[in-house]
């Protein structure tokens, strides 16, 4: 696989930085001050970006009593994993995890397959009405009817309170189709397809044996973005599954849990504790740990795929800058 | 040969009919299986065929009391299912009609069978209707002859007749002929399912805009009786409460989008200063970890906010342990500086990610420009200002214009999760307002009006931005 222009540029920049490093340009005092400020700023910003995740994590694995007293702030103490085990007992949570996993896997697979196939089809110039249909598809990125007509439409189609609502509308992703199309046009030589055609290969065959294997890098990119999008989606569960709590996604479930807690703690901060019994308060405080743990469970998959994602997202965002 | 020409002309009618029948599958208004008031008004033929659960959703009581026999509904369900399959057959036949003689023969055969089956199932639906009509409790069950019954039947019969005629016109099977279809049609047919999906999920909702002109409450039917014209549009301006709401909502929307636009240079600055860091490891490290927040949902951002700023979160426990606060405070509940806080959360989530495109842009700038600038005696900041910034400007312009075009669209997730009783007034943006009014409160027509206006204005803004871009830089952004 030839390196993309982006990768080459990256390398070039890297080398230049390395060269400058070796040369040890004489630092002026102004430069030193600038560097210190610059490094400090980025160190602080990065810290702000990662610390909350760390804080959340150490609070879920530390001794619950210490957490309740608010003593776990920087270092975990009394490490245990009971909280995670305790989550197994929460029934709703398990269904939500299952639903979310299912939609992530099925939805992403369908979306990637469809994007690859449609991306290939729209590169075929001989298709009847190609440019019109391509525009018909792409234009949908720039307008939408609004949330209420969307909801009414979904309920008209019988997709409310139905699992299919999570995956069927997600099959068509115009932006991803553009990405695949651009990739095929730029990275796969047209001669390959032509010669296969001369040898009598059908369109499906060309797609299956040439286009699909050769466009894997871009497919991996859209797969990862698609999967993260599916995992994170919350709005469709909130609006469409109003009377099917079994189909709530993990994000929706987490939203509900967080809200119950924030209401309880809000009452407490006002000092208005007289009306509430002590046990309710205690369970609310213990609830805090449980809520942290659920948040952590929701975040972990993202953090796990993140290293893989990183390889791809620069490519993705750069290709996106190229218009379809 | 003469026959073939005639057939060609008939084929257009044939394809249009098949397409029409296919559309009818999705239209609840034309559902021939809606035999009584208990069947939900928004049930289409497709739904009544493929989802028995939806079809009998309201029948629990009717079944228990014996008003309607369960077998009746089974008949109805199976008839609808077969009817759908028959119509699918017609559609397949229409698709095959794009091919050669042999394809057409097969296609005609399929659509003859399909339409015949569908016509037959209409009888089943009629039986189901007569059984329902004979119920003991007509008041509760509200049997009504489905409005779509005769039209659908007429279409199906017409389809049947045409496909038979066509099969006759087509003549006998030619020996040794193979299935063949021109490449352009083959590709189109492979594309067709995706066109349909796009149509159903992206274009069909536009049809829902008609709710803006009716006096509609959940479960009603749209008819001439509750058509109100532009009443809701006028209501928006005339009604004092709605008007006040709208003014407040627009204020919030524009303020938050405006703050976003005013800070849209931040990712660029972030990228430029980050590229000044020569320590490659550290630069990579920063880039990696500042991007993470972009990939978690707003619910999770709220979870993060919750663990840091709530009553027993990080900040409170630090402050209490240090003795600065006597009691934990829930900063999320406060209603002050909401716009600013939302902006900061947006930055926390998006700054690192938005910077990536600029970082990539910087590595694309010709290094000789920097060298030349250095030779000319430009300092660090001068190089940034006179080389890097102009190099990134095209990207910046495009993103800026896009964000101007999207000024009314803030998305609702962020504001929904951060909303609480004390900050509602400042956090209510247009998207959230529409959701609240339509889905939560059920004021569907009014919220459709607002959403509709928003969509139209957004599209106009986008084209405006596109035009400006064309005028200034000779390049379009969409």
What interface predicted TM-score (ipTM) does this complex get?
0.86
Q: How far apart are CA B32 and CA B115, in angstroms?
A: 15
pLDDT at residue A88 above 80? Answer: no
CATH of residue B406:
1.10.3720.10
| Mean pLDDT for all residues in chain A | 82
Confidence of residue A2 (pLDDT cuts 50, 70, 90): very low
- Burial classification of residue B42, based on how many CB atoms lie within 10 Å of its CB (0-12 exposed, 13-18 middle, 19 or more buried): buried
Q: How far apart are CA B89 and CA B108, in angstroms?
A: 10
Q: Does residue B193 fall inside a structural domain?
A: no
**Domain check: are B173 and B237 in the same one?**
no
Tell me how many residue pairs between chain A and chain B have CB atoms under 8 A apart. Answer: 297
Q: Does residue B210 fall inside a structural domain?
A: no
Q: Does residue B206 fall inside a structural domain?
A: no
Q: CA angle A171-A175-A177, nearest 5°?
A: 65
Number of H helices, E strands in chain B: 24, 0
The residue with tokens 């909502």 is B249
Which residues of chain B lie closer than 8 angstroms to A60, CB-CB?
none
Cα B325 to chain center, whole Å?
Answer: 48
| Four-residue CA torsion sign, A120, A123, A127, A128 | positive
Residue A114 C-alpha, separation from nearest chain B C-alpha, in angstroms: 8
Q: How far apart are CA B320 and CA A70, in angstroms?
A: 9
A contact residues 281-300, partner B, Cβ 8 Å cutoff: 285, 288, 291-292, 295, 298-299
What would you report as the CA-atom Rg of chain B, rounded to the nearest whole angstrom? 31
Q: Does residue B271 fall inside a structural domain?
A: yes
Write down which residue in B181, B215, B244 finishes a domain. B181
Q: Give the pLDDT confidence of B323-354 residue by residue, as tens digits.
A: 888 887 888 888 888 999 999 999 999 999 89
The residue with tokens 């006179």 is B386
Total domains in chain B come to 2
- Chain A's closest residue to B442, CA to CA, is A148
Backbone angles phi, psi at B227, to 5 degrees: -70, 130
Q: Give the pLDDT confidence of A153-184 residue by residue, as tens digits.
A: 888 777 888 899 999 999 999 999 998 998 89
Retrieve residue A247's tokens.
């189909």
Q: Give the pLDDT confidence of B420-436 residue by residue, as tens digits.
A: 888 888 899 999 999 99
Nearest CB partner across the interface for B280, out of A17, A70, A302: A17
Average the pLDDT over A114-127 and give the result: 93
| For testing contact with chain A, the best of B44, B363, B370 (most A CBs within 10 A) | B363
**Domain check: are B173 and B28 in the same one?**
yes
What is the torsion angle, in degrees rounded to the nearest 10, for the CA atoms of residue B452, residue B454, residue B455 and residue B458?
160
CB atoms within 10 A of CB B336: 10
Nearest CB partner across the interface for A14, out of B207, B280, B451: B280
- Burial classification of residue A288, based on how many CB atoms lie within 10 Å of its CB (0-12 exposed, 13-18 middle, 19 or more buried): buried
Chain A contact present for B322, CB below 8 A: no
Q: Does residue B211 fall inside a structural domain?
A: no
Q: Does residue B189 fall inside a structural domain?
A: no
pLDDT at B254: 94
**Domain check: are B445 and B300 in the same one?**
yes
pLDDT at B356: 87
HSE-CB at B270 with a 13 A cutoff on CA atoms is 25
Are B128 and B35 a contacting pair, CB within 8 Å?
yes
Q: Does residue B214 fall inside a structural domain?
A: no
CATH class of A85-319: mainly alpha
Are B305 and A300 a contacting pair, CB within 8 Å?
no
pLDDT at A275: 47
Average the pLDDT over A109-130 and give the result: 94
Three-state secondary-structure class, residue A275: coil
Are B61 and B76 a contacting pair, CB within 8 Å?
no
Name which residue leads in pLDDT, A56 or A277: A56
**Domain check: are B242 and B358 in the same one?**
yes
CA distances (Å), A15 to each of A42, B22, B51, B285, in order?
A: 22, 60, 62, 18
pLDDT at residue A322 above 60? Answer: no
Q: CA angle B409-B413-B419, nearest 5°?
A: 105
Nearest CB partner across the interface for A156, out of B28, B286, B300: B28
Indicate yes or no: CB of A144 within 8 angstroms of CB of B455. Answer: yes
Chain B contact present for A73, CB below 8 A: yes
CB atoms within 10 A of CB B337: 12
Chain B contact present for A129, CB below 8 A: yes
Retrieve residue B239's tokens.
């009604």
pLDDT at A53: 94
Indicate yes or no: CB of A262 within 8 angstroms of CB of B298. Answer: no
How long, in residues, is chain A? Answer: 324
- Contacting residues for B9 by C-beta, under 8 A, at least 6 apart: none
Nearest CB partner across the interface for A121, out of B191, B289, B431: B191
Structural domain boundaries enclosing B235:
224-473
Rounded to the nearest 10 degrees, the angle between the axes of helix B101-133 and helix B70-96 is 160
Confidence of residue A264 (pLDDT cuts 50, 70, 90): very low
pLDDT at residue A284 above 90? Answer: no
pLDDT at B328: 77
Q: Does residue B378 fall inside a structural domain?
A: yes
**Domain check: are B244 and B166 in the same one?**
no
**Domain check: are B275 and B162 in the same one?**
no
pLDDT at B144: 83
pLDDT at A315: 63
Average the pLDDT over A61-80 and give the result: 83
Chain B contact present for A38, CB below 8 A: yes
**Domain ranges in chain A?**
28-80, 85-319
pLDDT at residue A277 above 50? Answer: no
Chain B contact present for A12, CB below 8 A: yes
**Domain check: are B236 and B168 in the same one?**
no
pLDDT at residue A312 above 70? Answer: yes
A contact residues 193-222, partner B, Cβ 8 Å cutoff: 203
Write down which residue in B148, B181, B214 finishes a domain. B181
The low-confidence residues of chain B, meaning pLDDT below 70, are: 1-4, 218-223, 478
pLDDT at A23: 52
Of the listed ranges A48-57, A120-129, B1-10, the one predicted with least confidence: B1-10
Q: How far apart are CA B292 and CA B461, in angstroms?
A: 32
Are A254 and A298 a contacting pair, CB within 8 Å?
yes
Residue A309 C-alpha, separation from nearest chain B C-alpha, in angstroms: 10
Retrieve residue B242's tokens.
């709605």
Name which residue leads in pLDDT, A21 or B315: B315
Residue A209 C-alpha, separation from nearest chain B C-alpha, in angstroms: 17
Q: How far apart are CA B114 and CA B118, in angstroms?
A: 6
Percent of chain A with pLDDT over 90: 40
């Amino acid at each position: 696989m030839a390196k993309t222009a982006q990768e080459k540029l990256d390398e070039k920049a890297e080398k230049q930085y390395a060269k400058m490093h070796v040369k040890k340009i004489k630092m002026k005092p102004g430069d030193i001050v600038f560097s210190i400020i610059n490094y400090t700023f980025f160190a602080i910003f990065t810290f702000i970006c990662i610390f909350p995740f760390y804080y959340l994590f150490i609070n879920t694995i530390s001794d619950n009593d210490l957490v309740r007293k608010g003593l776990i702030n920087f270092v975990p103490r009394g490490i245990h994993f009971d909280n995670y085990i305790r989550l197994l007992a929460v029934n709703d949570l398990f269904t939500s995890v299952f639903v979310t996993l299912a939609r992530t896997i099925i939805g992403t697979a369908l979306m990637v397959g469809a994007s690859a196939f449609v991306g290939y089809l729209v590169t075929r110039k001989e298709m009847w009405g190609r440019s019109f249909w391509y525009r018909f598809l792409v234009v949908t990125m720039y307008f939408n009817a609004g949330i209420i007509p969307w909801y009414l439409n979904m309920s008209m189609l019988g997709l409310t309170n139905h699992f299919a609502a999570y995956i069927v509308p997600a099959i068509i992703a115009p932006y991803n189709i553009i990405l695949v199309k651009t990739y095929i046009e730029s990275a796969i030589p047209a001669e390959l397809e032509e010669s296969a055609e001369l040898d009598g290969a059908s369109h499906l065959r060309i797609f299956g044996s040439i286009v699909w294997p050769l466009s894997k890098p871009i497919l991996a990119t859209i797969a990862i973005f698609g999967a993260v999008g599916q995992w994170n989606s919350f709005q469709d569960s909130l609006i469409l599954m109003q009377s099917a709590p079994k189909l709530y996604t993990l994000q929706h479930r987490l939203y509900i849990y967080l809200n119950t807690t924030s209401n309880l703690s809000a009452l407490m901060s006002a000092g208005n504790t007289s009306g509430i019994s002590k046990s309710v308060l205690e369970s609310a405080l213990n609830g805090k740990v449980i809520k942290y743990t659920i948040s952590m469970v929701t975040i972990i998959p993202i953090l796990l795929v993140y290293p893989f994602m990183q390889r791809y997202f620069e490519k993705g965002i750069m290709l996106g800058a190229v218009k379809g | 040969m003469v026959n073939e020409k005639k057939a060609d002309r008939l084929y257009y009618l044939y394809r249009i009919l098949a397409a029409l029948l296919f559309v009818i599958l999705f239209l609840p208004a034309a559902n021939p299986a809606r035999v009584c008031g208990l069947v939900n008004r928004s049930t289409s033929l497709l739904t009544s065929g493929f989802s028995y659960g939806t079809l009998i959703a309201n029948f629990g009581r009717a079944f228990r009391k014996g008003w309607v026999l369960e077998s009746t509904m089974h008949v109805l369900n199976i008839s609808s299912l077969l009817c759908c399959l028959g119509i699918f057959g017609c559609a397949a036949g229409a698709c095959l009609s794009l091919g050669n003689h042999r394809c057409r023969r097969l296609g005609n055969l399929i659509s003859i069978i399909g339409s015949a089956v569908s016509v037959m199932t209409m009888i089943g639906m009629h039986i189901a209707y007569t059984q329902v009509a004979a119920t003991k409790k007509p008041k509760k069950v509200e049997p009504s002859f489905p409005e779509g019954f005769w039209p659908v039947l007429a279409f199906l019969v017409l389809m049947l007749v045409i496909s038979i005629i066509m099969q006759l016109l087509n003549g006998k099977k030619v020996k040794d002929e193979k299935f063949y279809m021109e490449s352009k049609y083959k590709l189109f047919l492979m594309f067709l399912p995706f066109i349909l999906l796009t149509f159903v999920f992206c274009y069909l909702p536009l049809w829902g805009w008609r709710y803006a002109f009716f006096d509609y409450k959940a479960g009603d039917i749209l008819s001439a009786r509750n058509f109100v014209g532009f009443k809701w549009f006028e209501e928006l301006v005339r009604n004092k409460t709605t008007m006040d709401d709208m003014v407040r909502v627009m204020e919030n929307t524009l303020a938050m989008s405006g703050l976003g636009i005013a800070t849209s240079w931040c990712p660029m600055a972030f990228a430029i200063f980050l590229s000044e860091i020569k320590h490659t490891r550290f630069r990579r490290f920063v880039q990696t970890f500042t991007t993470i927040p972009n990939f978690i949902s707003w619910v999770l951002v709220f979870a993060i906010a919750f663990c840091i700023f709530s009553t027993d979160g990080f900040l409170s426990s630090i402050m209490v342990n240090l003795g600065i606060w006597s009691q934990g405070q829930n900063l999320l509940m406060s209603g002050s500086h909401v716009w600013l806080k939302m902006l900061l959360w947006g930055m926390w989530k998006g700054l690192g990610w938005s910077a990536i495109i600029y970082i990539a842009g910087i590595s694309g700038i010709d290094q000789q420009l920097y060298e030349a600038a250095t030779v000319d005696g430009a300092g660090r900041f001068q190089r940034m200002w006179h080389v890097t910034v102009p190099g990134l400007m095209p990207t910046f312009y495009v993103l800026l214009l896009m964000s101007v075009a999207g000024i009314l669209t803030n998305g609702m997730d962020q504001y929904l999760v951060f909303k609480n009783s004390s900050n509602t007034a400042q956090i209510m943006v247009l998207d959230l307002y529409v959701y609240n009014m339509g889905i939560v409160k059920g004021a569907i027509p009014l919220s459709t009006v607002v959403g509709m206006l928003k969509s139209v204005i957004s599209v106009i803004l986008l084209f405006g931005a596109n035009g400006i871009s064309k005028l200034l830089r000779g390049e379009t952004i969409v």
